[in-house]
Amino acid sequence: DALEERGEVIRADLKALNKKLGRKETVRICAVSCLDLCDDGPNMVVYPGEEVHSHMTRAKALGLYREETKDMD
């Protein structure tokens, strides 16, 4: 369902997971203003390094979150 793959839904999923894992102090999940990437969205930017990931789905976003935080487990 396209509504389930919207950026707002993906962000809410990641925020809930981040809170559940107790990473709120070290990992920030947030909305940003315009990145001029609407045609490529949903998008995620990973800092440091400013890596931009486009055409995100819930599964891709979760996988990227897990990859980026694997050293925190």
Amino acid at 44: M
Q: What is the pLDDT of residues 30-39, one digit of tens each?
A: 998 888 988 8
DSSP at 14? H
* pLDDT at residue 56, as a whole number: 94
Output the pTM of the full model.
0.85
* Residue 53 backbone dihedrals phi, psi, to 5 degrees: -120, 125
Average pLDDT of the residues of the chain: 91
Nearest-angstrom CA–CA distance, 40 and 19: 27
